Structure 1
Amino acid sequence: MPLHDPVREAFAEGGVLSRAAEHFLPRPGQTDMAMAVARTIESGGALVVEAGTGVGKTFSYLVPALLSGERVLLSTATKTLQDQLFGRDLPKLVQALGLPVRTALLKGRGSYLCLHRMEQARQDSTLPDRSAVRVLAKIEEWSQSTRTGDLAELPGLDERSAVIPLVTSTRENCLGSQCPKFRACHVNLARREALAADVVVINHHLFFADLAVRESGMAELLPTVRVAIFDEAHQLNETGVQFLGTQLTTGQLLDFSRDMLAAGLQLARGLVDWQQVAGTLERSARDLRLVVGRTAPGARLRWVAQAPADVDPDAWEAALSDVREACAGAAEALATVSEIAPDFARLIERADILGTRAQAFCEPCEAGSVRWVDAGAQLRLVESPLDIAKAVREKLLRSSGDESSKKSWIFTSATLGDDSRLSWFTEPCGLESAEVLQVESPFDYPAQAAVYVPRHLAKPGDPAHSGQVAALAAQAVRQLGGGTMVLTTTLRALRTIGEELQRQFDAASGIEVLVQGQWPKRRLIDRFREGASQGKPGCLLVASASFWEGVDVPGDALQLVIIDKLPFPPPGDPLVEARSQRLESQGRSPFNDYFIPEAAVALKQGAGRLIRRETDQGVLVVCDTRLATMGYGRRLMAALPPMRVLKGDDEFLEVLDGLAATRISTTDPAWT
């Protein structure tokens, strides 16, 4: 039977999905996407689907994938979405469809407890503080009962904890089969389960890390999979370029120095002057950082000549040479004790890798790549391809001569571009020849949502702009009583707006101001979702970066989204500059073909936080007059969902009054 028949039946009224859940409603767009996925699975090739919020894209790709009987790889953007897919959506569908399907979850090694490194951490006298000792004790207790070793299972563990790198492994420090805990290794258990499963859930970071080094178990897994599906595919290009180039960080050097010193003192004390060898490497890393000098927080330095911008070339070259020599010295010292324990053999490999990378950065940048330095408390030296197109064409889309085994590649997201070919996504991903499908959201945006561009605000470049955004947000929140998210395009604006709003709303105000960075992201979102419930005050969340996407807050917990300015890429960013120069060399317009599509996609992502369910209502405020006054503003406005446009302050305040008066309590449908 052709695959499209059981797929269509599953989504039909009275079909298996509607019988399995009371909240399921047949949606034409969801069915259309499912049928396109089914066709691609049967015929092979690549399909790119932009599915608007509310379409139910997860079921649209899962149902045909499961009914196909093929071995399937599912990749998501984040570990949080990965856990949701594996822990909620997949089991629900497998049960509803009555299929004997084996599923597995596979993350990068940094997500799993390393039993060997946990034992080493217990003996480490340099733990940061008492709280770190308590966290380590909690992890040790949990290690006695966990089966998977996935640290996401441990309640209350802060993902920013300094203990996590001490109890997890990296590709560089893993001992592999020589590890004394190899048989009980959680990473190897996860890989074995993945190799035996019919459906494997991974994330984009793991996929590209493996594509770069062929080390994470995917080298065995991917050839046996005929269907690969990438959800939240809009992140693929930026994730991929992180892994397909070369990186060297002073943090890697300091971690290696610390690990070498700990292993040397524990396993070969007195045989080498470990303090001297580690100290030389540590000094070389710190000297490299000092050569760059003071920089603005999060600065990204252009590197088109011998040294990064504003850095003395001779001093830079000497510092890099010292790093290379310190790595070579460490390798020589480790070689004298390499037979004592497997730890030393792995440390030698790490020293060689770090030294090779340091040498690579002494050479000119490869053609078609861009080089820069991220300068913060540590340095990160990066050489990256401009996009992943070449890697996708050469490593993914090349099929074997046997057409019966031709692979199927499905890429989907709510936001993939602002033109009919979705070229913002397809061009940098090498997917220009893929089939493209756009499925509109089923939401009634003109009835559910409005967009407002205040004309009285200062221009975004004016120093007064952030303060005026904070004042507008404060006025709106007082009227609405909470349920507001302010999304900023820069960390500077985040701090300015966040501090001003915290000053305006004290503990007695009935409004709790949450600012990105004060708590872990998960805790901030959980508190924000609670809103004004169980005697708690309403919430105002000020956030940037990762909060623009992947945040799902349905109901009246979020009714107002304020964006401080249009999210254009920073023109001084080295990667942005290199991409712009490439377009110019092709006779194209960087502004029209790069800056505007980037801003359109980011704006759509931010606006997508507002309406998450059929019963949601809210307002989007974009505090950038260019959206209303510049010619390109029409293109950006057209990229947004078709919300009704508010003409002035009075209309805006009237809508807020209506939202405040009719607080709608929504239920989260189990089947969407």
Structure 2
Amino acid sequence: MPETSSTLPTVRELLTTAVASLGGTERDGQVRMADAVHDAIRTGEHLAVQAGTGTGKSLAYLVPAIRHAVERDSTVVVSTSTIALQRQLVDRDLPKLSAALAESLGREPEFAILKGRGNYLCLHRIDTGAPEEPDDGLFDPFAASRVGREVSRLHEWAGQTLTGDRDELVPGVSDRAWRQVSVSARECLGATRCPSGTDCFAEHARAEAGRADVVVTNHALLAIDALQEHQVLPEHGLVIIDEAHDLVDRVTSVATAELTSAMITTAAKRCGRLVDAEIADRLMEAADGLTMVLDDLPAGRLDTLPENLAGAVPAVRDAAHACLTALGTERKEEISEETARKLARTLLEEVHDTCVRILESFEPPLAERRDVVWSSGEPGGEGRRAPTLRVAPLSVAGMLRDRVFGARTAVLTSATLALGGSFEPLARRWGLPPAGPGAGPGDGSGDGPGNGPGDGSGGSAPRAARDSGTATEVAAPTDSDRISWNALDVGSPFDHARNGILYLAKHLPPPGRDGLGEQLLDELTSLVEAAGGRTLGLFSSMRAAKQAAEALRERVEYPILCQGDDATGLLVNSFSEDPASCLFGTLSLWQGVDVPGDSLQLVVVDRIPFPRPDDPVQSARQRAVEARGGNGFLTVSATHAALLLAQGTGRLHRTSTDRGVVAVLDSRLATARYAGFLRASLPPFWQTTDPEVVRAALRRLDEQAGTRPAGSGTEAG
């Protein structure tokens, strides 16, 4: 989207104004990033920017984005992965920035937040009530009464809220209660037909977004906008994808479908009063048949279609199709009838289409499949999850390339994008041409042959061949593709090598399958004691986190908090407020903890976070790479581990004065042949394998905690 000459101040001038107004300090990385984003807007070339914590990346992309939106009278979309970042942008960054730039731009830029329709109260459902649903196992009267109380509170809230946004309801409610007062986009009657259309919260949010210069949304809605034929987001030519390291997983989640006996039963009940009883009963019988099959089906990936499932799934598909045929085409009728027909049709279509997708996924040869199917849940027993069939894409690269990068200019940013020193591992997953311009971090000169984990073919191979390790629905990119992208690593203002130590516990035995070994627990105990608490323990499983918590509660005098003991947010607050405490947990803590200062001076990782061998999607992706001649372990498992390791170790430094140790108690990070790739994905800490050096550094930090002046930057080691 080439730009014409403008009377507006330059990006540099606006950035200087914003930084001065907000009371900040201009940072070299922030300036470089703002210039690069402006160049991407000007040339239309996509941009991937790695910006370490403390860079001020939000300001670096918002300033050129807002300038572009005001100059062109257009909308820019900013997509994030977490609610926390959405809130930061909408509640803090954008209000302050809009006020700061108003005089320079000639008007105050407008911004809005937009979420999926299911995140807003539906006034029509509030008025008419939710359709009758199956009990979903809620035979416990206490559980049922709790949901009833939550629904009553939602009805009261409906008369008070101005936005209907679920995230503004504090405390929140269960998903089951929220489903009673919300509808999906497919269930919605539409503003013109709905009696509450003029007051609809979701429609008001969409209208506000359509008038805004900047619309903040999430990766899920970005995926829905790309996957569906009708437009969900406002028309836009520029999208900023923050927390881009999480994009593929979020899009994959949106593109995953599931089939359960409960949803089939619900579909049969919804159409029971609208079609002949015999037709609805046929679907109910098919649901019963699938229930019996799923109860006997072991959890795990399905490479072949079991014989009993090969009979049950087509029976559901055909019965759902018969119900859809009996419902007929949409017609004008009483609102109550139209609502009932819409709800029935929506769920029937979902059931039918998921059955078709599951069955079709088994038709191609194993190496050519685009979807993976697996069974999950725990059949039988009180309180267990209902057995479920799920189907997910092996790759979303083709969809992202065609529907996102092919339609608009994209800027992707995160503190973690260059894995193993290269942007290419994530670029491949996004669908950008491998070995693109500036694929290596830094000077934009490319990463050269073999720097990234790759697929074993080397950096000089043709692009189509190098992308063949990914199973995609859309053909792999070739050298004739016109998608052009650049990459930039603006570094971090933090002095990682001076203020942080990466401790590789080389002397410990490799991790086993039988939980945490005694040597590892002894090592963990000595580190926590040396640090005086102040420890965030990141574990590969909840079982390991609980084992470590139980063991250390008997060995040390410091409070040991463990994920699951209370709400995670409350645990993080307690950990932050008590420097002597430790917090142990699993996946959500790897990316979701922001505790600056003396409360966190030791981050412990129990083992390299490779995906579980029985993870259906990751294992299928790895197999697909290997079937096409690539290195599945490096392309999938090592990339997954590098991303989580980089996110986890990033918990240590949240401000420029933070100091401490990252201790990885998995000796493979020092000894394995792939260890160099993983270590190159981490911040440039000073490294050691000497436990005495580490314990001495932690003891010094413990002694100095609370006494050193801000900004001293004294070396941790």
TM-score (norm 2): 0.79
Picking from 342, 345, 354, the partner of 2:341 is 345
Displacement after TM superposition at 1:230 (Å): 0.4
Picking from 379, 392, 395, the partner of 2:403 is 395
Tell me which residue corresponds to 2:427. Answer: 426
Displacement after TM superposition at 1:396 (Å): 2.8
**Cα gap change, 1:593/1:283 in structure 2, threshold over 3 Å: closer, same or farther?**
closer
Displacement after TM superposition at 1:510 (Å): 5.1
- Which letter maps to 1:248? E
Contact 1:466 1:493 in 2 (8 A): no
**Aligned-partner Cα distance in 2 for 1:274–1:179:** 29
**Aligned-partner Cα distance in 1 for 2:709–2:45:** 39
Contact 1:291 1:316 in 2 (8 A): no
* 557-566 or 486-495: bigger deviation: 486-495
- Which letter maps to 1:235? D
Tell me which residue corresponds to 1:486. Answer: 537
Contact 1:74 1:230 in 2 (8 A): yes
* 269-278 or 388-397: bigger deviation: 269-278
1:417 aligns with 2:410: no
Tell me which residue corresponds to 1:404. Answer: none
Q: Residues 364-413 of structure 1, C-alpha deviation per residue, up to 9 Å, x if partnerless?
A: 346441312141123443443332222233223336xxxxxxx4211111
**Aligned-partner Cα distance in 2 for 1:163–1:19:** 46
1:529 aligns with 2:576: yes
Displacement after TM superposition at 1:471 (Å): 4.6
* 490-499 or 351-360: bigger deviation: 490-499
**Aligned-partner Cα distance in 2 for 1:328–1:110:** 26
1:112 aligns with 2:120: yes
**Aligned-partner Cα distance in 1 for 2:371–2:403:** 21
Q: Secondary structure at the match of 1:19?
A: helix
Displacement after TM superposition at 1:152 (Å): 0.9
**Aligned-partner Cα distance in 1 for 2:101–2:245:** 29
Q: Residues 103-152 of structure 1, C-alpha deviation per residue, up to 9 Å, x if partnerless?
A: 11001123212233345658979674222222222222222111111111
1:171 aligns with 2:219: no
- Which letter maps to 1:283? D
Q: Secondary structure at the match of 2:155?
A: helix
* 605-614 or 409-418: bigger deviation: 409-418
Q: Secondary structure at the match of 2:172?
A: coil
Q: Secondary structure at the match of 2:55?
A: coil
* 479-488 or 226-235: bigger deviation: 479-488
Tell me which residue corresponds to 2:91. Answer: 87
Tell me which residue corresponds to 2:217. Answer: 202
**Cα gap change, 1:137/1:411 in structure 2, threshold over 3 Å: closer, same or farther?**
same
Displacement after TM superposition at 1:513 (Å): 1.1
1:188 aligns with 2:203: yes
Displacement after TM superposition at 1:19 (Å): 2.5
TM-score (norm 1): 0.84
Map residues 263-342 of structure 1 onto 2, 5 A cutoff: 280=285, 283-293=288-298, 295=299, 301-305=300-304, 307=305, 313-328=306-321, 331=324, 341-342=337-338
1:247 aligns with 2:243: no
- Which letter maps to 1:524? L
1:66 aligns with 2:66: yes
1:644 aligns with 2:686: yes
Map residues 620-639 of structure 1 onto 2, 5 A cutoff: 620-639=662-681
**Aligned-partner Cα distance in 1 for 2:159–2:243:** 35
**Cα gap change, 1:557/1:238 in structure 2, threshold over 3 Å: closer, same or farther?**
same
**Aligned-partner Cα distance in 1 for 2:49–2:670:** 30
Tell me which residue corresponds to 2:454. Answer: none
Displacement after TM superposition at 1:479 (Å): 4.3
1:461 aligns with 2:508: no
Tell me which residue corresponds to 1:232. Answer: 243
**Aligned-partner Cα distance in 1 for 2:710–2:287:** 52
* 628-637 or 99-108: bigger deviation: 628-637
* 418-427 or 381-390: bigger deviation: 381-390
**Aligned-partner Cα distance in 2 for 1:362–1:528:** 49
**Aligned-partner Cα distance in 2 for 1:421–1:446:** 20
**Aligned-partner Cα distance in 2 for 1:3–1:320:** 63
Q: Residues 516-538 of structure 1, C-alpha deviation per residue, up to 9 Å, x if partnerless?
A: x3444433333333335xxxxx4
**Aligned-partner Cα distance in 1 for 2:242–2:7:** 21
Tell me which residue corresponds to 2:459. Answer: none
Displacement after TM superposition at 1:476 (Å): 3.5
**Cα gap change, 1:4/1:479 in structure 2, threshold over 3 Å: closer, same or farther?**
farther
**Aligned-partner Cα distance in 2 for 1:172–1:570:** 35
**Aligned-partner Cα distance in 2 for 1:329–1:521:** 46
Matched residue count: 626
- Which letter maps to 2:496? Y
- Which letter maps to 2:180? L
Displacement after TM superposition at 1:336 (Å): 12
Tell me which residue corresponds to 1:535. Answer: none
Structure 1: which 5+ runs fail to align? 296-300, 308-312, 400-406, 533-537
* 116-125 or 363-372: bigger deviation: 116-125
**Aligned-partner Cα distance in 1 for 2:514–2:664:** 17
Tell me which residue corresponds to 1:402. Answer: none
1:435 aligns with 2:486: yes
Structure 2: which 5+ runs fail to align? 378-384, 437-484, 712-717
Tell me which residue corresponds to 1:146. Answer: 161
1:511 aligns with 2:559: yes
Contact 1:555 1:665 in 2 (8 A): no
**Cα gap change, 1:625/1:4 in structure 2, threshold over 3 Å: closer, same or farther?**
farther
Tell me which residue corresponds to 2:497. Answer: 446
Cα RMSD after superposing both structures? 3.4
1:358 aligns with 2:359: no
**Aligned-partner Cα distance in 2 for 1:510–1:49:** 40
Q: Secondary structure at the match of 1:62?
A: helix
**Aligned-partner Cα distance in 1 for 2:363–2:387:** 18
**Cα gap change, 1:344/1:276 in structure 2, threshold over 3 Å: closer, same or farther?**
same
**Aligned-partner Cα distance in 1 for 2:117–2:552:** 40
**Aligned-partner Cα distance in 2 for 1:665–1:334:** 74
1:608 aligns with 2:650: yes
Contact 2:506 2:668 in 1 (8 A): no
**Aligned-partner Cα distance in 1 for 2:515–2:405:** 50
Displacement after TM superposition at 1:274 (Å): 12
- Which letter maps to 1:304? D
Contact 2:601 2:652 in 1 (8 A): yes
Displacement after TM superposition at 1:571 (Å): 4.0
Contact 2:324 2:349 in 1 (8 A): yes
* 327-336 or 601-610: bigger deviation: 327-336
Q: Secondary structure at the match of 1:167?
A: coil
Q: Residues 29-72 of structure 1, C-alpha deviation per residue, up to 9 Å, x if partnerless?
A: 11101101011112212111111222111111011111222421
Tell me which residue corresponds to 2:376. Answer: 375
Q: Secondary structure at the match of 2:502?
A: strand
**Cα gap change, 1:86/1:660 in structure 2, threshold over 3 Å: closer, same or farther?**
same
**Aligned-partner Cα distance in 2 for 1:140–1:348:** 27
**Cα gap change, 1:448/1:101 in structure 2, threshold over 3 Å: closer, same or farther?**
same
* 84-93 or 634-643: bigger deviation: 634-643
**Aligned-partner Cα distance in 2 for 1:285–1:342:** 30
**Cα gap change, 1:276/1:416 in structure 2, threshold over 3 Å: closer, same or farther?**
same
1:545 aligns with 2:619: no
**Aligned-partner Cα distance in 2 for 1:55–1:66:** 19
- Which letter maps to 2:347? R
Q: Secondary structure at the match of 1:163?
A: helix
**Aligned-partner Cα distance in 1 for 2:278–2:581:** 56
**Cα gap change, 1:413/1:466 in structure 2, threshold over 3 Å: closer, same or farther?**
farther
Q: Secondary structure at the match of 2:610?
A: coil
